[in-house]
Amino acid sequence: MEFADLIKTPKLDGVLLHDPSNVGALGATVGTLCITGHHLLLSARQETSQELWLLHKNIDSVEKKPSLSQNIVVGGLITLKCKDLRIISLEIKCGKDFFNVAASLEALSAIQSTELLYPFFYRPMYSILEDGYTMFRPELEFAKLISGVGMGGASSPNVANITICMPSTSTTTLAVGPGLPHPLQNGFAIDALAGGGGGVLQGLQAACEWRITNVNRDFSVCATYGATLIVPKAITDEQIVLSAAFRDGGRFPVLSYKHENGATLMRSSQPLSIQGIKRCRADEAILNVVLGRSRKGFIVDTWGKGKSNTETDLHYSQWKKVNRSIGNVSSPASILDSFARLIEACNDLGCSTDKWLSRLEGSGWLSLVLNSLNASCVVAQCLDQEGSPVLVHGAKGLDSTLIVTSLVQIILNPDCRTVRGLQALIEREWIQAGHPFASRHRYSCYTPNQNRNKSSGATFVLFLDCIYQLYTQFPCSFEFSTQLLILLFEHSHFSQYGTFLCDSERERNELNVHTRTTSLWSYLNRPDVLQTLLNPLYEPNSNVIWPSVAPISLELWTDLYLRWVIDQRSSATVMSQIQELVTREKELRTQVLKLRKNALELGQEVSTLMNSAEDA
């Protein structure tokens, strides 16, 4: 298929752009509309007007309202509802052009072939300083995960030297960094001999409780997991295969996080409901090994009591079952339905205060946020205060499970509150863990419910909203600002980068995404870009952050949900002023240190002169 076959009118003059979000514009903007294979462009004749660049992948819904004159279409209004929550309209004066433009945009925004998307055509105009696809390789992240070293990528200052222990007596010591082999041979265990920057390892025995396995290297054991996984050293690959057959989608228990006290967090899918099969000894062995010296562990189900299968008390007697449902949802699409009701309420500027509050509550979105935080705090308490291992699962383990395991790490691990730490977390817990971004984000909140696939969802934005809630309660504990969260929301739906493409690592490998596209992390970590994403109030906080889960503590994320509805320039001005004050404070602190040094030196000189005078 050629893009030219889908573009019926590539260029059109005299198009009126109605963009309510452009607060500086006076009325509609008149310009020339151009349609390319990946973008819609509108260039205005006024020098003060900005050009419109819109990725077709950003378009969620195309609505047509023809203008009639004597029952003849003489033009009309095309309303584009976008995945970044913006709503714009194109007014076209000719009936034929009206239908041609609408048909072109409908076809281009509905392209399903991944290889025809913009990331495969985009070539950055800047030099790549770091390859984002190799920054958070599974071997490196898992090595730091089990050793207790901060997980911030290869360039993190507290990276340790990792010793790869083969089954034989020989060992090979590798400096963690760009030279690390990929992938590690199957069956290797990770031993850490030293820790840098405060990451002191607890010894060879504890580190060797886990190993890296490539049993899923051909993705035959689990289609949604990556090729490289970390499992208990005492568990064989044969047991892993049996456990995978017992779990929905083959998602057997894998390590997600190891707390500083040694307590481990694992994730999986729920057990399958197969008549006649009520237990799996291999699966039981995995959880029993994880228990170690702990007398009990916790299995937290995020799907809902009575909706999912769970492990039987008889065969998992040392594991306490805890139900912490994220919400009354039967599928990921239900989360998107809630999100759609929220955005519909946010866009209704004419409703009264009472009706607005009623619609906000009726959307159920803040309840999902609250339940997600609540479940995460329960898991974090089990790890931090009980010192017990936790297994989190819910249905297929692709949505609510990932929300909880990710939030737990942000609460407990200060590294996950840094820019690189958050990137590593998303790479490890969402992208490599097999969250189906392509399926979940094919449609968004503006697509009518009846036109969405059941696989559509808004799980990732729910996760980002939970981070925002943590940010509002602990504004000085996050290195990044909420602008980074908004960028992640946008790029997960539409992007020139390949980071969020496809549904799994298997699909990305089949399309050679890592060699044919550019990583979003390569862009975000450029010094000039990174500077715009930093939180000026950040003060490193090594403590656990326990959020309030009282309903009154929640805030509507206006910077995202209302940014095209309410003028956000005042917020930007305030942040700019804060940045200037912080910068000025740092300058004054530097001056104070210099003055103190000068005063000390002058005092020493005076003392020397006085001593000389006395001697004379």
Model pLDDT, residue 527? 94
Same domain, residue pair 445 and 469: yes
Dihedral, 466, 469, 473, 474 alpha carbons, nearest 10: 50
Q: Is the pLDDT of residue 237 over 70?
A: yes
User: CA 331, CA 339: separation in Å to the nearest integer?
Assistant: 13
Same domain, residue pair 142 and 60: no
Model pLDDT, residue 142? 79
User: Which pTM value belongs to this model?
Assistant: 0.87
User: Which DSSP category does 475 fall into?
Assistant: T
User: CA 492, CA 498: separation in Å to the nearest integer?
Assistant: 10
Per the listing, tokens 């609408």 go with 102
Interior angle at CA 542, CA 538 and CA 543, nearest 5: 110
Residue pair 154/185 in contact by the 8 Å Cβ criterion: no
Which of 225-229, 304-308, 387-391, 485-489 shows the lowest per-residue confidence on average (mean pLDDT)?
Answer: 304-308
What is the rounded average pLDDT of the residues 389-406?
A: 94
Q: In this structure, how many other beta carbons lie within 10 angstroms of the beta carbon of residue 333?
A: 19
Residue pair 316/288 in contact by the 8 Å Cβ criterion: no
Which of 36-50, 144-158, 534-548, 585-599 shows the lowest per-residue confidence on average (mean pLDDT)?
Answer: 144-158
Interior angle at CA 111, CA 434 and CA 485, nearest 5: 50
Highest mean pLDDT among 13-27, 443-457, 591-605: 443-457
User: CA 99, CA 238: separation in Å to the nearest integer?
Assistant: 59
What is the rounded average pLDDT of the residues 568-586?
A: 76
Burial 283-310 (b: 16+ CB within 10 A, else e): bbbbbbbbeeebeebbbbbbbbeeebbb
Reported confidence tier of residue 198, pLDDT bands at 50, 70, 90? very low
In a domain, residue 455? The reply is: yes
Same domain, residue pair 584 and 489: no
Provide the number of structural domains found in the chain: 3
Q: Per residue in 42-55, pLDDT tens? A: 998 776 667 899 99
Reported confidence tier of residue 424, pLDDT bands at 50, 70, 90? very high
Q: Is the pLDDT of residue 176 over 50?
A: no
In a domain, residue 609? The reply is: no
Q: In this structure, how many other beta carbons lie within 10 angstroms of the beta carbon of residue 280?
A: 21
Reported confidence tier of residue 443, pLDDT bands at 50, 70, 90? very high
Same domain, residue pair 551 and 583: no
Same domain, residue pair 515 and 595: no
Which of 188-202, 313-327, 417-431, 441-455 shows the lowest per-residue confidence on average (mean pLDDT)?
Answer: 188-202
Same domain, residue pair 483 and 591: no
Same domain, residue pair 213 and 252: yes
Dihedral, 395, 398, 399, 403 alpha carbons, nearest 10: 110
User: CA 210, CA 191: separation in Å to the nearest integer?
Assistant: 9
Model pLDDT, residue 526? 95
Residue pair 268/247 in contact by the 8 Å Cβ criterion: yes
Look at 46 and 250; give whichever has higher pLDDT: 250
Same domain, residue pair 500 and 585: no
Helix (H) or strand (E) holding 161: strand 161-165
Reported confidence tier of residue 493, pLDDT bands at 50, 70, 90? very high
For CA atoms 336, 337, 342, 348, the dihedral sign is positive
Residue pair 37/105 in contact by the 8 Å Cβ criterion: no
Burial 581-600 (b: 16+ CB within 10 A, else e): eeeeeeeeeeeeeeeeeeee
User: Which DSSP category does 187 fall into?
Assistant: T
Nearest CA to 440 out of 423, 455, 427 is that of 455
Look at 539 and 327; give whichever has higher pLDDT: 539
Helix (H) or strand (E) holding 177: none
In a domain, residue 442? The reply is: yes
Reported confidence tier of residue 29, pLDDT bands at 50, 70, 90? confident
Reported confidence tier of residue 306, pLDDT bands at 50, 70, 90? low
Nearest CA to 88 out of 142, 132, 31, 165 is that of 31
Same domain, residue pair 422 and 501: yes
Model pLDDT, residue 148? 63
What would the two tokens of residue 77 be? 């209004």
Model pLDDT, residue 329? 66
User: CA 274, CA 580: separation in Å to the nearest integer?
Assistant: 62
Burial 515-552 (b: 16+ CB within 10 A, else e): eebbbbbbbbbeeeebeebbbbebeeeeebbebebeee
What would the two tokens of residue 358 be? 């009623």
In a domain, residue 199? The reply is: no
Per the listing, tokens 């952050």 go with 545
Residue 42 maps to which CATH number? 2.30.29.30
Which of 35-49, 81-95, 226-240 shows the lowest per-residue confidence on average (mean pLDDT)?
Answer: 35-49
User: CA 347, CA 180: separation in Å to the nearest integer?
Assistant: 50
User: CA 433, CA 416: separation in Å to the nearest integer?
Assistant: 17
What is the rounded average pLDDT of the residues 129-155?
A: 75
Q: Per residue in 336-394, pLDDT tens? A: 999 999 999 999 988 898 999 999 999 999 999 999 999 999 999 999 999 999 999 98
User: CA 362, CA 346: separation in Å to the nearest integer?
Assistant: 12
In a domain, residue 367? The reply is: yes
Q: Could you tell me how far CA 86 lies from the centroid of its own chain?
A: 21
Same domain, residue pair 339 and 262: yes
Q: Is the pLDDT of residue 146 over 90?
A: no
Residue pair 415/452 in contact by the 8 Å Cβ criterion: no
Mean pLDDT of the chain: 86
Strand order across the beta sheet in which 72-82 lies: 52-55, 39-44, 29-35, 11-18, 87-92, 72-82, 59-69
Domain range enclosing 101: 3-111
Q: Is the pLDDT of residue 169 over 50?
A: no
Reported confidence tier of residue 233, pLDDT bands at 50, 70, 90? very high
Model pLDDT, residue 303? 81
What is the rounded average pLDDT of the residues 397-420?
A: 96
Q: Is the pLDDT of residue 123 over 70?
A: yes
Look at 199 and 252; give whichever has higher pLDDT: 252
Decide the pairing of beta strands 390-393 and 319-323: unpaired
3-state secondary structure 234-265: CCCHHHHHHHHHHEHHHCCCEEEEECCCCCEE
Same domain, residue pair 540 and 584: no
In a domain, residue 401? The reply is: yes
Reported confidence tier of residue 23, pLDDT bands at 50, 70, 90? low
Q: What are the distances in angstroms from CA 143 to CA 4, 150, 184, 195, 231?
A: 49, 10, 11, 12, 12
Nearest CA to 61 out of 15, 109, 7, 121 is that of 109
Same domain, residue pair 30 and 87: yes
In a domain, residue 545? The reply is: yes
Per the listing, tokens 């040094």 go with 597
User: CA 368, CA 93: separation in Å to the nearest integer?
Assistant: 45
For CA atoms 571, 574, 580, 581, the dihedral sign is negative
Model pLDDT, residue 517? 97
In a domain, residue 263? The reply is: yes
What is the rounded average pLDDT of the residues 584-607?
A: 86
What does 46-94 look like in DSSP terms, one character per residue?
STTSPPEEEEGGGEEEEEEEEEEETTEEEEEEEEEEETTS-EEEEEES-
What would the two tokens of residue 306 be? 């009575």
Question: For the chain, what is the radius of gyration of the CA atoms?
Answer: 27
Q: Per residue in 54-71, pLDDT tens? A: 999 999 999 999 998 888
